[in-house]
Structure formats: structure tokens, C-alpha cells
Homo-oligomer: A and B are copies of this chain.
Amino acid sequence: MLDILHRIGVTSSPEAVYDALTTIDGLAGWWTEDTTGDSEVGGVVRFRFPPGGFDMKVLETKPAERVLWEVVDGPEEWIGTRVRFELKQEDDYTVVLFRHLGWREPVEFMYHCSTKWASYLLSLKKYVETGTGDPAPRDVRISNWH
């Protein structure tokens, strides 16, 4: 099994980052504007992008510390994988350790998703720090796959 890993630091409180990861408005502020559903544990959040989207079941949330999702619908390579955010305070930063766990093969789509996650996590940082992120469809274009 293969994982995508990332680490960013946000100059804000763990609570503010946690809100951006666990509310529909927060998620729409940095990942994709077209975010709907139920972000409580056991609920399913639907993230839609111009070319398609993902449905995430919320498996676990721990205020200011951790969020865990399981992909229940979306591209075949994503189904059954998990996305985890772990938060901790360090210096004046809330550090976010991100892991997209359980890829079965290092397909080219995994290369793409890794870079795209980095770009969305920088959007999360910007959103929490300034109030404005770069969610889809205004996200940073990184290649012909968008």
C-alpha cells in the first residue's frame, strides 16, 4: 500500500484549521466550492469538481487534533482509500500532517493527486490565514489534467 504525505504549517489556531476541515463552509473555502453533505461523524460529504468528484464518509473527528475520512465514491483508484489530517501546535504554527492512505499502485493519477493535494493544502493555509483560499474551480492549474 502506498501513501501520499504532506506537511504544512498554518499561522492560526488548531481550532481554526479544524473548522476548515469539518464544516461545509470551511471545506468549500479551500478544496472545492461545490461541497455539500453532512460533515458529522458517520455522515458523507460530497466534493464536486468540473471533471467529477469524491464522496467521503467521515470516520473520525477529534476537535483541534484529527480528521479521518474514507472515500466511498469517486475514481476507482480512490475508493476505499483514507484521508487523514493530524493537527498539532509548534512555534506559532498549527502543523497539519496529511496522509492519503492505501493507494494500491503508483499509477500516474497518484503522481497527479500528490501534487494537487499539495496545492490544495497551500489553499487551506491561505484560506485559514487570510479568509480566501483557491478552491476549485478557481484552483491552481498544474498540468493538462488540471
Which residue numbers of A lie inside 8 Å of B, CB to CB?
2-9, 90-93, 95, 97-99, 106, 108, 110-112, 114-115, 118-119, 121-122, 125, 140, 142-145
Contact = CB atoms under 8 A, between A and B. Distances in A.
Nearest to A121: B115
A8 B122 contact: no
Contact of A111 (B7, B90, B144): B7
Contacts of A142: 7-9, 122, 125
A97 to B, nearest CB: 6
Given A121-B115, A142-B125, A5 B4 contact: yes
Copies in the complex: 2
Nearest to A111: B7
A134 to B, nearest CB: 12
A67 to B, nearest CB: 16
A91 B141 CA distance: 15
A97 B113 CA distance: 12
Contacts of A111: 5-7, 97-99
A106 B5 contact: yes
Given A3-B106, A108-B97, A145 B115 contact: no
Contacts of A118: 6, 114-115, 118-119
